[in-house]
Amino acid sequence: MVKPNDQENATPLNSVGRVLDSRWMMAFAVLAVLVAIAWALLESDPSARPVAGAGSTQPMATVELLGVPPEAEVLLDGRKIDNRLFGVTPGTRHALEVSDAQGRTWRQVFLAEGSLSLIVELRTQFVEVEVSPKGPAKKSD
């Protein structure tokens, strides 16, 4: 009896299915890494989080700043705001900084629940510098 050739009777491997499966797995892995990167960036960047959203269903905590000069610049979490009355997400930590053209500043970190009024008192920051006077040297006779 003649033995048939192995190549003629060989069944093709299902390599197409394996390639597609591995491509899907690779695409899923890349997608998972991209989602993880986006999540990490949103968590680390405070300016990426919304301060007060118009379409938000969660009640906002209101913060009112009292005593802010009209020309002063107000920064909330590093972003400039124009209002002296604004809403923030309750239960989260926020940082306020107020400064004016004369170099006076005020900083406050707060955690708002409900409503909060803060009194802003701008102060000049002093730096102490030690200076030793150097006068004319005394001549000895």
Spell 5-35 as b/e; 16+ CB within 10 A means b. eeeeeeeeeeeeeeeeeeeeeeeeeeeeeee
CATH architecture of 51-124: Sandwich (2.60)
In terms of Cα–Cα distance, which of 124, 90, 86, 85 is closest to 110? 90
pTM of the model: 0.48
**pLDDT tens digits for range 52-79:** 445 556 788 899 999 998 889 999 999 9
Q: 139 pLDDT exceeds 80?
A: no
